[in-house]
Chain A
Amino acid sequence: MTNSIHDMGGMHGFGPVVPEPDEPVFHADWEGRVLAMLRAMGYTGLWTLDGFRSSLENLPPLTYLSSSYFERWCRGLERLVVAHSLVGEDEIVAGRVLRPGIRLNRKLTLDDAKVMPWPKFDRPALGPARFKAGDPVRTRNINPPTHTRLPRYARGKLGTVEAVRGCHVFPDTAALGAGENPQWLYAVVFTGRELWGEEADPAIRVSIEAFEPYLSPA
């Protein structure tokens, strides 16, 4: 979902940031298992990174806020394996296997895990870029009921293209399983005052990485 609780930029009321001295990589063994399962299941190619993000964003807001980070990941992964008919809802509830698995096209092996390939998201351009560095742009005011990576605080705002990043997989369609639909990606920078009003600190500038469909000429 787009206007969901995950879109936190600019919200008040969450209190101070509390850094933890000498923080461990994982705070419990199960956190590492969740991360590993998610990476291994992501490798199957059955869903996209944005499909996973969408599964987290679709958690009920109270669940999202009251769950720890890896707890959210666990719930998101459970939802994905059920949605893709890999595991039955009844099996999640029972906590055990009730029927055999289905065949996967790709399974992460130990050798794959040793290499740990990082995914690539850039794709060949399907057409010329509409904008270049220095162009003024206005972000569109969109509120799709599905996944997007244009944060609410940066919608309908006047900014400047700072860099052209190339063509990348478009999250808004990739999340839906509707194809990669590659789009030009830009760094777009805004003044603090454009985002937050006249009271904002003039020393602040904020940039987002914006896909071309998020932008209009200004």
Chain B
Amino acid sequence: MPADDHAHDHSSELSEMQLRVKALETILTEKGYVDPAALDQIVENFETRIGPHIGARIVARAWVDPEFKRRLLADATDAANSAAGLDPVSNHLIAVENTPQTHNVVVCTLCSCYPAAVLGLPPVWYKSAPYRARMVIDPKGVLAEFGVSLPPGTDIRIWDSTAETRFLVVPMRPAGTEGWSEEALAALVTRDSMVGTGLPRSPEEPAAEAAR
């Protein structure tokens, strides 16, 4: 919202953090350091433009186009940025593929590094102490809390995002989706399935049926 909207006195209704952040924005604006319209735009970008729908399109394309998948796994930034109809993504993107042998999961134990350009902002659980602490030592326990149980014998590979490289999990294409369009397949690709804490929707789920 523009700075002017902050001038009204709603202090009795405002939380301590609302007041604190409002004061900081007023200070930075009056000193000429930030443009409130630019701040509005950044908020809008994250609320409406950037989100898991971008990653879902990349995954769906990899499912239908073997050459795109090969390029995605070789250089995800280049593949995504040069693909027709896909928005440019950030730098240093790395795609890791789930197989019947190996399930991949992404974490950032030190802060909250996340492939925001293709998935949007991370959910609260991803940034939370329990996830950051336990995913590297007890991944099966954490996956169980997401309702995910993997077939016996599946290896689990954890990617701790300790640098500026960002990881996108390419989940396995669900069975029973032969002949589906890229768009219909994208509707099966959940955010959590691209972090590794979930699996794609089943083609029998109503949401998937509606998208066909």
Contacts and interface: CB of A to CB of B under 8 A. Distances in A.
26 contacts: A8-B110, A11-B133, A18-B130, A23-B124, A25-B46, A25-B121, A28-B15, A28-B17, A29-B1, A33-B39, A36-B42, A39-B42, A41-B34, A71-B17, A74-B17, A97-B26, A101-B32, A110-B35, A118-B89, A120-B92, A121-B92, A171-B163, A187-B165, A205-B157, A207-B159, A210-B162
Given A102-B31, A154-B160, 9 more contacts: A6-B111, A19-B123, A32-B47, A49-B164, A100-B31, A107-B33, A118-B117, A185-B165, A203-B155
B88 to A, nearest CB: 8
Interface in A198-215: 200-201, 203-211
Contact of B91 (A23, A114, A119): A119
A112 B38 contact: yes
B125 A151 contact: no
Interface string A139-177: 000000000011101100000000001001101000000
A14 B28 contact: no
A178 B136 CA distance: 31
A109 B27 contact: no
B71 interface: no
Interface residues of A, number: 91
Interface stretch (B60-68, B137-145, B173-181): B137-145
Contacts of B120: 25
A18 to B, nearest CB: 6
A41 to B, nearest CB: 7
Given A40-B42, A97-B31, A207-B159, A8 B133 contact: yes
Given A25-B120, A116-B45, A196-B137, A108 B35 contact: yes
Nearest to A5: B129
A119 B91 CA distance: 7
B25 interface: yes
Given A53-B111, A209-B165, A78 B24 contact: yes
B176 to A, nearest CB: 25
Given A30-B17, A30-B18, A86-B33, A17 B160 contact: no
B159 A65 contact: no
Contacts of A203: 153-156
Interface in A45-69: 49, 53, 56, 65, 69
A28 B160 CA distance: 29
Interface residues of B, number: 76
A16 B131 CA distance: 8
A209 B30 CA distance: 41
Interface of A: 6-12, 14-20, 23, 25-30, 32-37, 39-41, 44, 49, 53, 56, 65, 69-71, 74, 77-78, 81, 86-87, 91-92, 95-97, 100-102, 104, 107-110, 112-114, 116, 118-122, 149-151, 153-154, 165, 168-169, 171, 185, 187, 189, 195-196, 200-201, 203-211
A204 B17 contact: no
Interface in B73-110: 89-92, 109-110
Contact of B42 (A18, A35, A165, A196): A35
A200 B129 CA distance: 21
Contacts of B165: 165, 185, 187, 209
A121 B42 contact: no
A155 to B, nearest CB: 12
